[in-house]
């Protein structure tokens, strides 16, 4: 099973934190993520620094770390609009992530745009990035439910996916922004997408709001999802959703994979070390489990 881990801790994990992290500490964590063998590292987002101050140094991270990036590692960044793409291009971002919320309320709070307007603009941005030779991942946010609107109709999610596919964009993520996903929803939605196009490369992004994140990741894997987005320590949460909660913990997910004899190449101890250091930095316990109790060892 070819599972690719996309750690979003540096972006989704830190964007909600009130304490600003020094650039040197961020660089230290990213270097450790690289050394651990994590496939894709989301360095930050190109957003308004007044709204999300913790992302103000994203350009500097790319400028400094692109010089030492390992060939096996991909650096990604989130962009919300054309200005973000422009900023990302200026520092040679390798992989652009962008998305549309299936919730009108969340879309307005997150981007100031309607779902239809956001979809049109995101597709245009994605095409621009692909034309420039960049890797692109598009997402449907609030795909499994919304903290403001509740249930999101499956047809609305699929209609956005169809527009992506019509535009020739094949790397598509479903994001459980509010943490409303459950295994049945996960299996149903991904099965519907693979019926549309069996060659699509699907990703998943689950928040652990109601404790189902790791189970949903496993269900997505079994459904054929290749890219799994997690965050070290289980950090994170969208600042523009009703009940923000952390992502699935990277070290917890890697531990699960290795219990299944998958991705033994990843140095779990390195990821655990990052989570411990992050917990120490913020002076609080993080949501992740494995960094606290250690990995399961065969007797």
- Catalytic residues, which ones? 238
- DSSP class of residue 298 equals -
The dihedrals phi and psi of 224, each to the nearest 5 degrees, come to 110, 10
Which helix (H) or strand (E) covers residue 228, if one does? Answer: strand 227-230
Contacts of 198 (CB under 8 A, 6+ apart): none
Name the CA radius of gyration of the chain, rounded.
Answer: 18
Q: What angle do CA 277, 279, 282 make, to 5 degrees?
A: 110
Residue-wise DSSP of 8-64:
-IIIIITTT-SSPPPHHHHHHHHHHHHHHT-SEEEEEEES-TTT-GGGTTHHHHHHH
Q: What region, left, alpha or beta, does residue 241 occupy, with left being phi > 0 and alpha being psi -120 to 50 degrees? A: beta
How many Å separate Cα 49 from the centre of its chain?
20
Say how many residues make up the chain. Answer: 299
Distance CA 47, CA 167 (A): 25
For tokens 């596919």, the residue is 165
Take residue 15 and report the two structure tokens written for it: 């964007």
Residue-wise DSSP of 63-92:
HHHTTT--TT-EEEEEE-SHHHHHHHHHTT
- DSSP class of residue 240 equals T
For residue 97, the SS3 value is strand
Choose among 141, 154, 149, 213: nearest CA to 188.
154
């Amino acid at each position: 099973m070819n599972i690719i881990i996309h750690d979003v801790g540096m972006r989704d994990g830190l964007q909600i934190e009130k304490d600003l992290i020094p650039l040197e500490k961020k660089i230290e964590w990213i270097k450790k993520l690289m050394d651990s063998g994590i496939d894709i590292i989301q360095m930050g987002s190109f957003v308004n620094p007044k709204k999300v101050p913790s992302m103000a140094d994203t350009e500097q991270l790319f400028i400094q770390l692109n010089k030492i990036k390992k060939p096996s590692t991909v650096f990604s960044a989130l962009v919300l609009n054309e200005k973000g793409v422009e900023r990302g291009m200026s520092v040679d971002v390798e992989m652009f992530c962008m998305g549309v919320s299936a919730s009108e309320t969340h879309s307005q709070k997150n981007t100031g745009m309607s779902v239809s307007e956001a979809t049109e603009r995101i597709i245009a941005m994605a095409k621009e990035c692909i034309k420039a030779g960049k890797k692109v991942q598009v997402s449907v946010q609030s795909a499994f439910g919304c903290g403001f609107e509740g249930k999101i109709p499956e047809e609305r999610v699929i209609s956005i996916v169809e527009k992506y596919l019509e535009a020739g964009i094949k790397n598509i993520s479903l994001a459980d922004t509010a943490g409303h996903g459950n295994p049945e929803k996960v299996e149903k939605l991904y099965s519907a997408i693979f019926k549309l196009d069996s060659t699509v490369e699907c990703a998943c992004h689950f928040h652990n709001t109601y404790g189902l994140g790791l189970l949903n990741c496993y269900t997505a894997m079994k459904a054929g999802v290749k890219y799994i987005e997690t965050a070290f320590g289980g950090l994170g949460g969208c600042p523009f959703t009703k009940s923000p909660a952390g992502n699935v913990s990277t070290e917890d997910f890697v531990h699960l994979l290795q219990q299944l004899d998958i991705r033994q190449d990843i140095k779990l101890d390195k990821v655990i070390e990052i989570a411990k250091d992050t917990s120490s930095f913020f002076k609080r316990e993080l949501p992740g489990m494995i960094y606290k109790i250690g990995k399961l060892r065969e007797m």
